[in-house]
Structure 1
Amino acid sequence: MELNMPEYYNFAAQVDEYACSHPDKRAVWELDESGAEQILSYDQLRRFSNRIANGLQSIGIGQGDKVVVLVKRGIEAYGIYLALLKVGAVIMPGSEMLRQKDIEYRVDHAQACGVICFEGILEEVEPLRESSATLKHFITLGDSREGWLPLDVLIGGQSDEFSCAKTRSDELAFLSYTSGTTGGPKGVMHVSGWPLAHLSIAASQWLDVRENDLVWATAGPGWAKWIWSPFVSTLGMGATAFVYKGRFSAEAYLSILEKYPVSVLCATPTEYRIMAKANDLEQYRLQALRSPCSAGEPLNREVIDTFRRVFGLTVRDGYGQTESTLLVGTFVGMEPKPGSMGRPSPVVRVAIVDEEGMELPVGKVGDIAINRDMIALFQGYLNDPERTAKAYRGEWYVTGDQGRMDEDGYIWFEGRSDDIIISGGYTIGPFEVEDALVKHPSVAECAAVASPDDDRGSVVKAFVILKKGHSPSDELVEELKEHVKHLTAPYKYPRKIEFVEELPKTNSGKIRRVELRQQEKENLNLS
């Protein structure tokens, strides 16, 4: 299967074209925790995003400008993303849980000129108005305050017609930051043509999105996965995006799936695992659900078996990265092998390779690698040629995950080949946790690793050496957890902390996290 990329492409222009021919079709269906709903048609979304685009252009944001977007799930996210694409700006997604240090790093590293954020994160961004040399535009979804331009004021009086910027397919459009094992997060560069490549396989052959579907993808706008499924895969196929703004609980999710005609669901394995353990699971009738998919971390067999037994539905696993699109999965019509990642995408050449970049035979464990000619592969890490070069091994982009391929071409996940922690669908770099911990006055040294967990797959565990004069205690454990939550995004905090006298190290003094990870696995097997 080949994909011919046009010279020019703008995803927002594609959505506008669909809106003009289907003006009354539902585009976004929003539900909040109280049960209140808001629905926008494709034409209403087109006009809303056009007003934002005109507003952005009026203050000087245009083609090539980098803008940090820190917003929650909701209709506004769709309008803002489309508007930024329409003016040709570069979208920098950020989680609503980021802290000042996280945001400042991204702004400085990318030389961002603007930030659009919801009211709840303003205090984390406010200090940057004085410290940042590049930030000029501060837009809030909240009320007016000094130095900030409310979105309502920005779009007030603006025309609801706008001509999309003519963007080359190879022009930078998305800059998503992903955690690394050392140093700060890496800025993953994706171009304007990336959504077209994603639509060609992930939306149609994995998620199985059809024009009349109501699609509920639970990822938040701060993540590359939001661009994948709620945004590109849904609007790009002319379907309706369902957005739930409330907090997760198994009962809430199952009740929504019973009440609303959601036909495509894309959630994390953690969400599926907790739903599968819900009390009285058999009482729910998910009559509209046709295509349940899972991504973000390995999906365990028990979830697949439970959803088949109770609902007659097969949850199909999918694997990809911020750097790519869908790489491996259980595609439509494919017989799943529960516990496996599925088979390689029809448009991707996937192999298991050794340390020399040579393909390994069936059954051998090695690095999961993608041929570097893949059209949807990232364009490198921003301002980081060294880490970009390290991502490749000859003709292969090496994912950092290890696996083995069986005789039928299915790939089985064996774990990370580096120290990255994947917990509840979040990708966490140990350096970020350790950097926050050592800023506490009681911590002399520490190491963060993945520790197996039934619900989240893994959680962050920190091994901590205390400074002289400080003693281990339950109170200190809680204090350290809160300390990390305040310095970096709360999802990164260590849910487990063990105080130790020493850490395993190499002869050159580097911490051997691999020994600590192995220790955690052995402890699990003994329990």
Structure 2
Amino acid sequence: MMGAGIAESDADGLRGFALSIPFHFNIGVDVCDRHAANPARANMPALIVEDARGQVQTITFARLKSGSDRMANVLRGLGIESGDRVAVYLSQRLETALALIAILKLGAVAVPLFPLFNGDGLGGRLTDSGAEVVVTDAEGAVRVMDLDLPTRPTVVSVDPDPPAGVRNLDDLMGRGSGYFRSVETMAEDPALLLYTSGTTGTPRGALLAHRALPAHWPGFGMAFPSPFLADELFWTPADWAWVGGLLSVLFPALSRGLPVLGCRGPRFDPEETLAMMSRHRVRSAFFPPTALRLLRQLPVAQVRASSPLRAVVAGGEPLGGALLDWGREALGLTINEVYGQTEANLVIGNGFPCHPVRPGSMGRVIPGHRVEIVDDEGRVLAPGELGEIAVARSDPSMFLGYWNNPEATAEKFRGEWMLTGDTGRKDSDGSFWFLGREDDVIISAGYRIGPGEVEDVLMRHPGVDQVAVVGIPDPERTEIVKAFVVPRDRGLLDNGTASGVLAQDLQQFARQRYGAHAYPRQVAFLGELPVSATGKIRRRDLRHLDPGQDL
């Protein structure tokens, strides 16, 4: 395992660094069981969880092991075996960690699902993954039971008094053994199925192997370079269903034997977030830049007086020089920036001791990875040339492929390179510079939103004839979703009141049937959509139209 922090003097020595991944490796065992077996670590805090009522639990590694063992036995009793998929549809809470670890120790595949997904956003992922069990809360159980699915999974609720047809976790845990012998998995075996949006209406499930965790160790150790002292505590507002929350914070911190705070409200509130971090003495945090922009709205003096942070990492969107300056002024530190995708994460970084910040740059390649700028044929370009950021197929963080989608997997590669869809260049000293997306995926508040999925939902509204969705710039969220709608009733085009009512209805429709993070924050009505000679929507033209209603 790589050292926790890397000094600037070590930079040259890292040039030939190669990450060694064991042949046999299991994420669940690594983040939990091996610490519980160590008398010096067994009774140390692993998770500190604050619920919506403000009640706090501290869970040791020993308790994390016994709880995940018991849950693994529950899942095995429900028929789950190696390779089966189990969905975890929960926010940051104890049962989320227990379920994820239990699934991995079983040799099964965990399918973390963002709790804001509902309707088609939820049903499409459950259907595609073929999840046989869904672990969720009471609200999630109702959502799952209301879905029209080809095959109904077993639904287990972590809350008491579940709805009809839903099993109660406490009842099942009470009957299960507190000891489970973990399945010996290879590092190359599948472990996680994380869904990432593309330009089509179908989400793609990126299948990650157990080696994805050790592949994150170098980036994690460099991104959080502060000494790992007895008061260390990690937190992120990124949900544990996303690669940033799961593999950039939760699992690598637990792997190091370091505690993680679980505390995630329905919305990010900067005042409450600052108070929460101060209350728990959060020392290291991972933020999407959107969250940092919201924190920046608070008075600098208030942030400076209240923040206990000594290491901050940002990822998911470009950070920008303004946030770097704010971090130094308000937080008294340099915000480290990381880059990657669900398919290959934590491969470039900026701001580390051996990768000093160059404002505007993404940083340099993190040791143990190989990233280049390539052309359309997958040929590596010379420094300064514009091309696509690409990660070597042999990279230890590389995904196994898209679930049940070999065509999409093949399209992701050019020869030995995985294409990120991001254009950029690399200068002579190895620094990368991001220039933009090559596809139409919308990056909003760190979430990747596929326009096709949102369009599919809106097309089901009876008032919609045609629709196209694009991302437009936003000072806080980087981009927001904007929908261009051709209404069935063309008379609405000349009726501002009626079109405003329809716009609000479409927003609510998308929130309920897809997710609150991806509904169109702007809606504009057109008589027709611009299309190419082959009939494809010209999204580029839509982005340059006059702004529509901002509702």
Q: TM-score normalised to the size of structure 2?
A: 0.90
Which residues in structure 2 correspond to 1:202-281 (within 5 Å)? 202-208=219-225, 210=228, 212=230, 213-246=232-265, 247-279=267-299, 281=301
Residues of 2 paired with 1:223 and 1:283: CA distance?
27
Structure 1 position 348, deviation (Å): 1.6
Which residues in structure 2 correspond to 1:81-480 (within 5 Å)? 81-128=100-147, 131-133=149-151, 135-142=152-159, 143-199=161-217, 201-208=218-225, 210=228, 212=230, 213-246=232-265, 247-279=267-299, 281-282=301-302, 284-286=304-306, 288-330=308-350, 332-333=352-353, 334-472=355-493, 473-480=499-506
**SS of the residue aligned with 2:523?**
strand
Structure 1 position 239, deviation (Å): 0.4
Deviations 1:364-417 (A, max 9, x none): 332111111112100111111111111011221100111122333221211110
**SS of the residue aligned with 2:410?**
helix
Taking only the aligned residue pairs, the percentage that are identical comes to 34
Deviations 1:283-332 (A, max 9, x none): 64256422100111111211110111223211111111111120111153
Would the aligned equivalents of 1:362 and 1:406 in 2 still touch at CA under 8 Å? yes
Residues of 2 paired with 1:440 and 1:256: CA distance?
40
| Match in the other structure for 2:509 | 483
Would the aligned equivalents of 1:391 and 1:398 in 2 still touch at CA under 8 Å? yes
Structure 1 position 217, deviation (Å): 1.9
Deviations 1:470-508 (A, max 9, x none): 404221211111111122112111101111223222110
Would the aligned equivalents of 2:239 and 2:264 in 1 still touch at CA under 8 Å? no
| Match in the other structure for 2:21 | 5
Residues of 1 paired with 2:330 and 2:250: CA distance?
30
Residues of 1 paired with 2:409 and 2:303: CA distance?
50
**SS of the residue aligned with 1:491?**
coil
Residues of 2 paired with 1:181 and 1:459: CA distance?
16
Residues of 1 paired with 2:211 and 2:380: CA distance?
30
- The more displaced of 214-223 and 468-477 is 468-477
| Match in the other structure for 1:30 | 49
Question: In structure 2, do the counterparts of structure 1 residues 87 and 168 end up closer, same or farther at CA, with 3 Å as the change threshold?
Answer: same
Gaps of 5+ in 1: none
Deviations 1:238-286 (A, max 9, x none): 1000122334211112223333321111111011011112135446425
**SS of the residue aligned with 1:465?**
strand
Question: In structure 2, do the counterparts of structure 1 residues 187 and 283 end up closer, same or farther at CA, with 3 Å as the change threshold?
Answer: closer
How many aligned residue pairs are there? 519
Structure 1 position 219, deviation (Å): 1.4
Would the aligned equivalents of 2:278 and 2:307 in 1 still touch at CA under 8 Å? yes
Deviations 1:80-118 (A, max 9, x none): 111111111110111111123233322322222111111
**SS of the residue aligned with 2:175?**
coil
Question: In structure 2, do the counterparts of structure 1 residues 507 and 121 end up closer, same or farther at CA, with 3 Å as the change threshold?
Answer: same
Would the aligned equivalents of 2:201 and 2:455 in 1 still touch at CA under 8 Å? no
Residue 42 in structure 1 maps to residue 68 in structure 2: no
Residues of 1 paired with 2:274 and 2:422: CA distance?
32
Residues of 1 paired with 2:520 and 2:153: CA distance?
35
Residues of 2 paired with 1:191 and 1:436: CA distance?
32
Residues of 2 paired with 1:204 and 1:371: CA distance?
21
Residues of 2 paired with 1:365 and 1:266: CA distance?
30
Residues of 2 paired with 1:500 and 1:516: CA distance?
10
Deviations 1:326-363 (A, max 9, x none): 01111530211222211111122211122122223333
**SS of the residue aligned with 1:13?**
helix
Deviations 1:440-462 (A, max 9, x none): 22221121111100110110011
Residues of 2 paired with 1:198 and 1:17: CA distance?
18
Residues of 2 paired with 1:448 and 1:460: CA distance?
7
**SS of the residue aligned with 2:247?**
helix
- The more displaced of 93-102 and 80-89 is 93-102
Residues of 2 paired with 1:160 and 1:332: CA distance?
42
Amino acid at match of 1:53: A
Structure 1 position 418, deviation (Å): 0.2
Residues of 1 paired with 2:37 and 2:114: CA distance?
32
Residues of 1 paired with 2:87 and 2:263: CA distance?
23
Report the RMSD for the aligned CA atoms in angstroms.
Answer: 2.0
**SS of the residue aligned with 2:37?**
helix
Residue 493 in structure 1 maps to residue 504 in structure 2: no
Residues of 2 paired with 1:503 and 1:370: CA distance?
36
Structure 1 position 425, deviation (Å): 0.9
Residues of 2 paired with 1:356 and 1:283: CA distance?
48
Deviations 1:149-205 (A, max 9, x none): 111011103222211111121111111111110130011111122212222x12212
Residues of 2 paired with 1:287 and 1:148: CA distance?
42
Question: In structure 2, do the counterparts of structure 1 residues 347 and 331 end up closer, same or farther at CA, with 3 Å as the change threshold?
Answer: farther
Would the aligned equivalents of 2:483 and 2:523 in 1 still touch at CA under 8 Å? yes
- The more displaced of 370-379 and 216-225 is 216-225
Residues of 2 paired with 1:413 and 1:519: CA distance?
25
Residues of 2 paired with 1:75 and 1:498: CA distance?
42
Residues of 1 paired with 2:514 and 2:87: CA distance?
17
**SS of the residue aligned with 2:305?**
coil
| Match in the other structure for 1:516 | 542
Would the aligned equivalents of 1:254 and 1:284 in 2 still touch at CA under 8 Å? no
Amino acid at match of 1:449: V
Residues of 1 paired with 2:464 and 2:371: CA distance?
43
Residue 65 in structure 1 maps to residue 91 in structure 2: no
Structure 1 position 33, deviation (Å): 4.6
Structure 1 position 517, deviation (Å): 3.0
**SS of the residue aligned with 1:254?**
helix
Q: TM-score normalised to the size of structure 1?
A: 0.94
